[in-house]
Structure 1
Amino acid sequence: MLRTHHCAQLTKTNLGATVSLAGWVDSVRDHGGIIFVDLRDREGITQVKFDSALRAEAAQLKAESVIGITGKVESRPEAMMNRGIPTGEIEIDATELTVHNISETPPFPLTDAGGDKVNEDLRLTYRYLDLRRPKMRKNLAVRHRAAKSVRDYFDTQGFYEVETPALFKSTPEGAREYLVPSRIHAGQFYALSQSPQQFKQILMVAGVEKYFQLARCFRDEDLRADRQMEFTQVDLEVSFIDREGVYSLLEGMLKKVWKDVLNHDLPTPFPRLAFKDAMNRFGVDKPDTRFGMELADFSDTFKSSGFKVFASTVAAHGSVKAFNAKGLADITQGEIGALEEIAKSLGAKGLAFIKVENGEWKSPIVKFFSETEKAELTKRLNIENGDIVFFAAAPWERACAILGRTRLEAAQLLVKRGKMTLRADQWNFLWVVDFPLMSYDEEKGSYAATHHPFTSPVAEDVPLLDSDPKAVRGQHYDCVLNGMELGGGSIRIHQPALQKKIFEDVLKIPADVVESRFGYMLKAFTYGAPPHGGFAFGLDRMCALLCGTTSIRDVIAFPKTQKAQDLMAQSPTPVTAKQLKELHIQTVIPQQ
């Protein structure tokens, strides 16, 4: 090794020792002929003093150059001690200096404050420099500790870590796939695995019983802060387990991760919330429960209202819902306009509201309300001076979605005004359960699985598959933290007849397509498939929350941009005609 210690290791216990360190020059300071260099490696910083024949050479060092030094550990003068770092009471009196590499001036400051101020594209172009910043080094360390904690936990629970193929067959339901042309089989393609779902169920048929994997998954989707085209799942599957067993198992894993990484004790068991309750109360199936402002249903109140918009919605079997954004009556016209645009994007014609200022209800719709209706609103929403109440009148699911999004936007406005605090270190976990097994696509005129087609229906609802598929509950569950879905899973179908029925009778997938895509799986189920269930956590998303960042790009070493590009390596790129010929494919330039 070129060093005897790392740069956060030496203390007063090492005084008098001759040591060797190596790392990057963090800073160079000339104090009257004595050169001080802060030497940095992955673990921290040590101050090095050059007051011998080496000082002239040390004065030429530039920040971010890589050097090695040998010298004697000395105590710093009392006035120069920095007790904020582990090595702050000592320094190295250098007797040898080796310059491994001189750095050019970096394109942006490699401090947290400096790096955060530059454009993210620039940071991603020079990602190898961005990763030197303290925050990014810490993020990678957190990810490592979280991954290790997960592996250690499942090992103690008797799981096998099994790798599954990245190259799979195309099963084009769900997210768009990445296709990989086969050179050997002309005209045929693999697909990069969206998840190990089918493989892990096959492992249950194979008698593995307890499987997990930190699985690489690929989806050709539009990107955003919490989504990447390639990502990592904490993937698991267990035989002979029910939903309660899955909840307990996953809560134990999360409890260990939070303790190992943050030294925080999570209370368990987590609260549980049925899908319908989550939608009715929060307008979304991944509610942020760190604040109130819950939705209330006023359909009965307004079914005979003089306000015809509300009354006609109820008559058409829709819902009238509202919530009170307490203290937000000072909202600006521009902010209301922005909320209206969001509501319209979700199918609303507008966004009705009532402001309460100086004891007066202000809104064009108030004149249509009876005293009884106003009294009911006041009572149930605790309306006071300074509040603003938002309404949605639409089919139930749309009304929930409109106010669910408005609720989140209103919370951010209250945070901006200092009237609400949403702490990143407040860990409000919950399970959302009892999802509908199927949803109906009005445009296509067909049903679609709300989770995936391998999810088992609740046993007592199976007879409804023939008469009312929308009423069937699935054994599907999501783990939600502070308004973010960490992951989801389900108890799976293990009977081939029921799985075939779901494919062909409910989802209306033609029998030949079922055989082409899932035939091997259905056949495997005929050889003694055990009851089983599983889960998949987004490791990237979990690590982002642990690090207190909103973007998973901050916890992935080499992420893609929102335009699906690697700016550092400059990919994707064209390939040669020879490569295309070997793969038996041609490219078509899209029309502008």
Structure 2
Amino acid sequence: MHAFRTHTCAALTANEVGQTVRLSGWVHRVRDHGGVLFIDLRDHYGMTQVLCDPDSQVFAEVEKVRSEWCIRIDGEVKARDPELVNPRIPTGEIEVYIRDIEVLGAAKELPLIVFGDQEYPEETRLRYRYLDLRREAMQRNMTLRSDVVASLRKRMWDQNFREYQTPIITASSPEGARDFLVPSRLHPGKFYALPQAPQLFKQLIMVSGFDKYFQIAPCFRDEDPRADRSPTDFYQLDMEMSFVEQEDVFTTVEPVIKGLFEEFGGGRKVDEVWPRISYRDAALWYGTDKPDLRNPIKMDMVSEHFRGSGFKIFAQLLEQDGTEVRAIPAPGGGSRKFCDRMNAFAQKEGLPGMGYIFWRDGNDGMEAAGPLAKNIGPERTEAIRQQLGLGTGDAAFFLGGKPASFERVAGRARDVIGEELGLTEQDRFAFAWIVDFPMYEKDEESGEIDFSHNPFSMPQGGREALDGDPLEVLGFQYDLACNGYELISGAIRNHKLDIMIKAFELAGYDEDEVRKRFGGMVNAFQYGAPPHGGCAAGIDRMVMLLADEENIREVIMFPMTQRAEDLMMGAPSEPTNEQLRELRLRVLPPEE
């Protein structure tokens, strides 16, 4: 007999009745039924009920075990009485009578209970992550993650991609986030960087003549944390292809992602058609470049209805350059109570509020109500209603100013309205490609031009497009949004050296700096670089959606806290004086 087990805790059925078996696992819970001890014994695969009565020679030993002790038992498989069969588990037809027991690992008092659904503070869960991971939901999430990665690899191989690995220690690059720097012992005063993405290397792989590349790639970015983003590192499905245009990338990626969500989505609907939405339209209609299309609400521009109107706040606002008024339709939201609640929501988000109009039955048919309706009059109100396609029982909310000042709140309000009014379709994955991103953006404070997205993208229109207003230049850049999250970001790359140098020049990098910072790519592009493009899909975020979790830490094995700390391993930690001397570094005390 094997030293630890003949079967897993999910393997025994009525077919094994009468056999002597050996099981190993953790004590999930202990129940005392009139002196007979029942133990739910758990391993990674499932649960088996084992029991011991006072007549057993090992009863005294079994009495000592507690929750989460790791034990090995030998015993005889017996059939449960028909009325005691548990159809919810594979082993529900049998139980094992303990004949021998060995404690493999005793456990002291637990800081968190594995059995049940108790909620614990995040710090407790992360400090004792090895216990937290024993819980059923976490075992399920991590198994899902592993299966997703395996499926992605197979799907990429089926698309004739090959997997290649790129360096983890490299040079710093402007990917839009802070680098994690690594001091060099052999080159004092110089630093490596952990890669924010394999961007430059995968482009060089294309220059090297490899036609299709992919990698399950770790990426490192020193970022402020969010619920859908890790503050230190994450994994992505990274891919690149030669001799492709934007549509070729879409055609290649869609069946991979669609198939993955059909395989692991638990029967939820996966949209067949993935629309292409320009960045500008996404901002106008949804207030975000990662819209949740399960929500049918589409915002609209209604500035003309308020220009010169009796509602002075908007009328005067529209006299300023770059301002506009947008409406958020709310089908079914036509009550003062709901309108007041949404107005309070806007105030919590930092705005003065949201104007609103709602339509209801009146003495002479449908009538418009609310402060805005009284101020702008019936003709303008009716024009707004017709433009938005609304009717009795519906409402519309209004935000005005420069889009940058209210767009984010408008997008959030759209989400809240869709949820509260039951408009957002559940049990569905709604995908959309967001395209035509602007290459550049202007810093509101300094007025300087910088890249707004991937700096290595090909501008639409090529070299000539860079001779005009930089803020009008669009890139062959694209994101894939799903249910309000960005899953994929990518681009057709800029493979022509003269265009790349000009593109960086507009963002404040002269040719010498470009050649210094990206010497490997600059040199490579002088030797026959092919047209190429690709993208990267966030694995953590995809698993989060598939697992129906709202926090990305629920699908990462050993995540950091919100403050980028590993409470379990004690990172970050202070270096020793010896380490600092060897690296010729000095640590300044923290600022007060």
Q: Contact 2:271–2:431 at 8 Å: present in 1 too?
A: no
CA deviation after TM superposition for structure 1 residue 436, in Å: 1.8
Q: 1:323 aligns with which of 311, 324, 328?
A: 328
Aligned residue for 2:275? Answer: 271
Offset, 1:199: 0.7
Q: Which residue of 2 aligns with 1:309?
A: 313
Match of 1:583 in 2: 583
Contact 2:490 2:534 in 1 (8 A): yes
Aligned equivalent of 1:245, options 240, 248, 254: 248
Partner of 2:479: 478
Deviations 1:309-367 (A, max 9, x none): 333444434221111334443238676334224253xxxx6533345577575544443
Task: Say how many residue pairs are matched.
Answer: 579
CA contact (8 A) 1:462 1:472 kept: no
Unaligned runs of at least 5 residues, structure 2: none
Paired residue for 1:234?
237
The 5-angstrom pairing of residues 354-503 of structure 1 reads 354=357, 361=368, 363-384=370-391, 387-412=394-419, 414=420, 419-420=421-422, 422=424, 425-459=427-461, 462-503=463-504
* Counterpart residue identity of residue 383, structure 2: E
Match of 2:60 among 52, 56, 60: 56
CA distance in 1, matches of 2:377, 2:338: 26
Q: For residue 240 of structure 1, what is the amino acid of its counterpart?
A: F
The farther-off stretch of 317-326 and 367-376 is 317-326
CA contact (8 A) 1:33 1:55 kept: no
1:551 counterpart residue number: 551
Matched ranges for 1:327-338 at <5 A: 327-328=332-333, 329=335, 330-331=337-338, 336-338=343-345
For 1:162 and 1:226, the matched residues in 2 are separated by 27
Counterparts of 2:551 and 2:304 in 1: how far apart (Å)?
42
Q: Distance in 2 between matches of 1:4 and 1:573?
A: 44
Give the match for residue 49 of structure 2: 47
Aligned-pair CA distance for 1:444: 2.9
Q: Residue 168 of structure 1 aligns to a residue in which SS?
A: coil
Name the structure 1 match of 2:509.
509
1:353 matches 2:360: no
Secondary structure (helix, strand or coil) at the match of 1:251 reads: helix
> Is the 8 Å Cα contact of residues 276 and 435 (structure 2) preserved in structure 1?
yes
Are the aligned partners of 1:486 and 1:537 in contact in 2 as well (CA < 8 Å)?
yes
1:239 deviates by 0.9
Percent identical pairs in the alignment equals: 40
Matched, 1:221 2:223: yes
Per-residue CA deviation, residues 444-469 of structure 1 (Å, 9 max, x unaligned), is 3232222211111223x652311122
Q: CA deviation at 1:93?
A: 2.1
Deviation at 1:399, TM superposition (A): 4.7
SS of residue paired to 2:568: coil
Amino acid at match of 2:464: P
Contact 1:251 1:268 in 2 (8 A): no
Q: Deviations over 1:426-456 (max 9, x none)?
A: 1111111122222222323232222211111
Report the residue type matching 2:349 in the other structure: I
Q: In the alignment, which of 298, 301, 323 is matched to residue 302 of structure 2?
A: 298
Aligned counterpart, 1:93? 97
TM-superposition CA deviations, 1:75-97 (whole Å, max 9, x none): 11112110111000011122221
Secondary structure of the residue aligned to 1:301 is helix
| Aligned residue among 125, 130, 135 for 1:123 | 125
TM normalised by structure 1 equals: 0.93
Per-residue deviation, 1:547: 0.3
Tell me how far apart the structure 1 counterparts of residues 223 and 466 of structure 2 sit (CA, whole Å).
31
CA distance 1:479–1:357, change in 2 (3 Å): same
CA contact (8 A) 1:500 1:522 kept: no
C-alpha contact 2:399 2:410 (8 A) present in aligned 1: yes
Contact kept? 2:295, 2:415, Cα under 8 Å: no
- Normalising by structure 2, we get a TM-score of 0.93
- Measured in 2, the distance between the counterparts of 1:368 and 1:132 equals 61
Which deviates more, 95-104 or 263-272? 263-272
SS state at 1:167 partner: coil
**Greater displacement, 580-589 / 134-143:** 580-589
Query: 2: distance between equivalents of 1:383 and 1:456?
Result: 42
The residue aligned with 2:204 is: 202
Alignment of 1:71-90 (within 5 A): 71-90=75-94
Worse overlay, 209-218 or 46-55: 46-55
Displacement over 6 Å in runs of 4+: none
Shift, 1:30, TM fit: 2.4
8 Å Cα contact 2:27-2:42 kept in structure 1? yes
State the alpha-carbon separation in 2 of the partners of residues 365 and 181 from structure 1: 61
Identify which of 159, 162, 166 aligns with 2:161. 159
CA contact (8 A) 2:164 2:213 kept: yes
Query: Whole-Å Cα distance in 2 between the matches of residues 211 and 575 of structure 1?
Result: 38
| CA distance in 1 between partners of 2:353 and 2:20 (Å) | 74
Structure 2 counterpart of 1:201, one-letter code: Q
Whether 1:566 aligns to 2:566 is: yes
Partners of 1:82 and 1:111 in 2: how far apart?
18
Offset, 1:25: 0.7
Partner secondary structure for residue 194 of structure 1: coil
Secondary structure at 1:277's aligned position in 2? helix
Q: Distance in 1 between matches of 2:116 and 2:359?
A: 43
2:76/2:96 contact within 8 Å kept: yes
Q: Which moved more, 1:570-579 or 1:146-155?
A: 570-579
Maintained 8 Å contact 1:240/1:532? yes
Describe the SS at the equivalent of 2:30.
strand
Answer yes or no: is the 8 Å Cα contact 1:321–1:399 preserved in 2.
no
Q: Cα deviation per residue 1:227-285 (whole Å; 9 max; x = unaligned)? A: 11111111111111221221121111112322333464734342222222212211211
Residues 70 and 106 in structure 2, CA contact (< 8 A), matched pair in contact too: yes
SS of residue matched to 2:270 = coil
Distance 1:142 1:423, change over 3 A: farther
Aligned-pair CA distance for 1:586: 0.9
Query: Which amino acid letter does the alignment assign opposite residue 397 of structure 2?
Result: F
How far apart, CA to CA, are the structure 2 residues paired with 1:227 and 1:488? 14
Does the Cα contact within 8 Å between 2:343 and 2:353 map onto a contact in 1? Answer: no
Indicate how the Cα distance of structure 1 residues 399 and 332 shifts in structure 2: closer, same or farther if over 3 A, else same. closer
- How far apart, in 2, do the equivalents of 1:69 and 1:529 lie? 64
- Residue 9 of structure 1 corresponds to 11
Q: Report SS of the residue matched to 2:579.
A: helix
Which amino acid in structure 1 is aligned with residue 152 of structure 2? V
Q: Distance in 2 between matches of 1:376 and 1:335?
A: 23
Q: Contact between 2:343 and 2:355, CA under 8 Å: does it hold in 1?
A: no
* Letter matched to residue 465 of structure 1: L
Contact 2:239 2:536 in 1 (8 A): yes
